[in-house]
Each structure stands twice: as structure tokens, then as C-alpha cells.
Amino acid sequence: MPRPKTHDDALRHRLLDRAGELLSTEGPGALSLRRLAADVNTSTTAVYSLFGGKPALLEAMYDEAFSRFGARLQAVPITDDPAEDLIRIGIAYRESALADPQFYAVLFSKVVTPTKEMSKAAMRTFDPVVNAVRRGIEGGFFVADDPEALALSAWGIAHGLVSLELNGNLPPGLDVAAAYERALRAHSAGWRA
């Protein structure tokens, strides 16, 4: 009878989540494999068995962060209204950041130096935004302009507001979800044809 697998996907996810928490709340100096293993109630052997070491753990965190983030953006349904789709993608952006705040710092910081392949995978998360903008330009919803520039401006609005929210830099009592959606709608309206 084979030995039961003790280093499974559930442990892998717990390690990745905790590593992201340590990085996002305490910075890179807080992430040691010994501390990570202790925090997740496992051994450093498990960490090495699953990841092979700290560099591979950081790469796996980067991959996991963009995988989760990209899946949420890709899940936004495509409709006949690309302008509304762009807003819904922006809302999914915020929802992803709030669902996995431990990975937000990994997504958009220099914690991990991505390889060329990792960078290509990360850039694919931008595709739904660019595609919605292209459809909007082709359908006459948006002015005829550079789709990547318009998409980048939408991305910047989302990123800026989400970063402010996650860092606790918004006014107290603000209805963040409503203000965020209004900002996305105002941005979209500014590009209307």
C-alpha cells in the first residue's frame, strides 16, 4: 500500500497564502522558510518538497497570484456593451484584490523578479481589458484611439483606487464600492464616441 501523500495541494495553497501575507504585511525580510513552515504548522522539509526552495516558492506565488487574478478577469461575461464590460472588468479587478489581498503586493511590486515567460503570463491578465476596449472602438462605443492607451488608463484608475483602499488611504465613511464604480463609469464616459 502506498504511503499517503502528506504534502498535498491544500498544504501548497496554505503555504502560498501565508507567504503572500508575510510579504504584503511585513515585507520581503519577513519571509523565511522556517517561519513560513512554522506559521502553517508544517516542516521546512514540506516547503522544500513542494517548492524546492525560496526562489521557486516566490515564482509559485507570482504564478498563483496572476492565475487567480486572471481567472477572475476572464470570468467577466462578454456582452453586446463593451463599455459596460470594461466597467465589470474593473469591478472584478477590485473584487480579486479584496479576495486575495495577500497576493496584491506580489502582483504589482518587485518582490519577485519575473522571468520572460512569467511576464508574458502576467501580461495576459491585461487582455480582457484591451479586448473590451477594442470591441468598444470597433463598435463605435469609444472614440477611435489607441486601444492599449485607453485600456492602460482604465487599468490605472482601477489600480490606483484599489491600492488606496488596500493601504487604508481612503476617507473614513466612504462607500468605497459605490465611489469606485462611479470612477470607472466616469472614466468610461470620458472615452465615449
pLDDT at 184 over 80: yes
Alpha-carbon span 9 to 74, nearest angstrom: 23
Residue 19 has pLDDT above 50, yes or no: yes
Q: How far is CA 56 from CA 50, 100, 111, 127, 165, in A?
A: 9, 20, 13, 26, 30
Per-residue pLDDT tens digits for 88-142: 999 999 999 999 998 988 888 777 778 888 888 888 899 999 999 999 999 999 9
Residue 184's H or E segment, with its range, is: helix 176-190
User: Does the residue 118 lie in any domain?
Assistant: yes
186 is a domain residue: yes
Amino acid 6: pLDDT: 64
Instruction: Look at the chain and report how many structural domains it folds into.
Output: 1
CATH code for position 147? 1.10.357.10
**What pTM, to 2 d.p., does this model score?**
0.89
| Cβ–Cβ < 8 Å for 129, 65 | no
Q: Which three cell numbers stand for residue 101?
A: 489581498
Q: Is residue 134 part of a domain?
A: yes
For residue 128, the number of C-alpha atoms closer than 13 Å in the C-beta half-sphere is 24
Q: For the segment 30-72, what is each residue's pLDDT rounded down to a tens digit?
A: 899 999 999 999 999 999 999 999 999 998 998 899 999 999 9
Domain extent, residue 71, equals: 61-190
Q: Give Rg (Cα) of the chain.
A: 19
